[in-house]
Amino acid sequence: MIIKKDHKIPLDKFIDYCLYDKKNGYYMNSNPFGTTGDFITAPNISRLFSEMIAIWTISFWESLGSPKKFNLIEMGAGNGEMMKVMIESFKRFPLFISRCNILIYEKSPKLIKEQKRNIKFDNIKWISNLKKLDKSPSIFLANEFFDAIPIKQFSKNKNSWFERFVHFCDNKKAKFINKKVNIKKVEKKINFNISNNQNFIEYSPLGLKYLKDIFKFIKKYDGGLLIIDYGYFDKKMQDTLQAIYKQKYSKVLENICKSDITHNINYYFIKKIAKNFKELDINYTSQKKFLTNLGIHQRAEIIGKNKTFSEKSDIFYRLKRLIDKKEMGDLFKVMLIKKSNNNSQIGF
């Protein structure tokens, strides 16, 4: 997309340009993950996180009846650290890994190269279209995936609804403007009464499409979607749009294409979408409870044995970052959407 003077585009188109434009996009031209990037995700804090996700994946596969063929899809794999550690864990379970078709869904050529450098495993494929999945039971993993998908925002003033746009005054300066919109047309397009009891709306059209496509797949072929992301579970939607530039919060309209633009997930909205699909069930908890229930404390004790004091201190410092309420423990939530005839409760 070419940005011109006096150009007005919807917020989601602006975010898509900033993050995913082939020439200028933030994710397309840099690796924002790790200590040198703008943020550090849980897999880069401690391998304990990825090991727990591997344990959960194997257990959930067993709850599906240990199918002889199934897909494991990571949605947006960052620098590949989580899948790298998961595969290392899977190798201890030869029956599981022999039946597992491992896939990574990734848009960024830059990150695909990074992932391929990091993950040393032959039986793995990169895909750009979920519709090409084998028609088999599938486990979808979305760790900090949905927060990076472009969103739309709408606000209600008296009895009228307005959509947030970005107005490029020139090539470098931009400002927010509101344009009046027929919210009923928006709802008809997405087939969802999103404005009910709301004064503010924040949602991702593309995120909604991903959810619906995945839910249809799970309903037809069995499996589950595990979402791990920062977010909230309120009926009322909130304005959570934010940007991070050089590891600090930044204004969204500054440092265009050089900062990460993100939002908090409204898990209540995801639950409502899932409830529209009969035969689907939802589990929900905090990251702290999820990882604790999976045995992350016990695993930390095991790998801490025979370590030096400083090495052991580092293990538990990283563990604290993952599960402490003041760190990621409560800020990050975990939701599993699966078929209601699957009674698996591991982690929840």
pLDDT tens-digit series, residues 122-142: 899 999 999 889 999 999 999
**Cβ–Cβ contacts within 10 Å for residue 320, how many?**
16
Ranking 4-13, 42-51, 234-243 by mean pLDDT, the lowest is: 4-13
φ and ψ of 99, to 5 deg: -100, -5
Identity (one letter) of the amino acid at 308?
T
Tell me: pLDDT of 31 over 70. Answer: no
Q: What is the pLDDT of residue 253?
A: 87
Spatial neighbors of 295 by CB under 8 A, at least 6 apart, are 52, 55
Which tokens hold the place of 258? Answer: 């050089």
* Three-state SS annotation for 303-344: HHCCCCHHHHHHHHHHHHHHHCCCCHHHHEEEEEEEECCCCC
Q: What whole-number distance in Å separates Cα of residue 285 and Cα of residue 340? A: 17
Q: What is the pLDDT of residue 5?
A: 67
Q: What whole-number distance in Å separates Cα of residue 197 and Cα of residue 84? A: 44
Q: How far is CA 238 from the centre of its chain?
A: 18
| Mean pLDDT for the chain overall | 91
The residue behind tokens 């090991």 is 51
CB 36 within 8 A of CB 200: no
Q: What whole-number distance in Å separates Cα of residue 230 and Cα of residue 247? A: 17
Residue 203: strand pairing partners: 152
Ranking 20-24, 175-179, 333-337 by mean pLDDT, the lowest is: 20-24
SS3 of residue 93 by DSSP: coil
Q: How far is CA 53 from CA 79, 235, 308, 346, in A?
A: 16, 29, 27, 11
For each of the domains in the chain, give its residue range(s) and CATH number, in order of start. 7-339 (3.40.50.12710)
pTM: 0.93
End-to-end CA distance of the chain: 43
Confidence bin at 245 (pLDDT 50/70/90) = confident
Q: What is the pLDDT of residue 26?
A: 85
Q: What is the pLDDT of residue 180?
A: 96
Give 259-282 pLDDT, tens digit per residue.
889 999 999 999 999 998 989 999
Tell me: pLDDT of 338 over 70. Answer: yes
Q: What is the pLDDT of residue 252?
A: 87
Among 10, 2, 7, residue whose Cα is nearest residue 174: 7
CB 203 within 8 A of CB 272: no
Q: What whole-number distance in Å separates Cα of residue 191 and Cα of residue 209? A: 11
Which tokens hold the place of 61? Answer: 């596969």
Identity (one letter) of the amino acid at 256?
I
User: Which spans in the chain are helix H?
Assistant: 11-20, 26-29, 42-45, 47-63, 81-90, 94-99, 109-118, 183-190, 205-221, 267-275, 287-294, 296-304, 309-323, 328-331
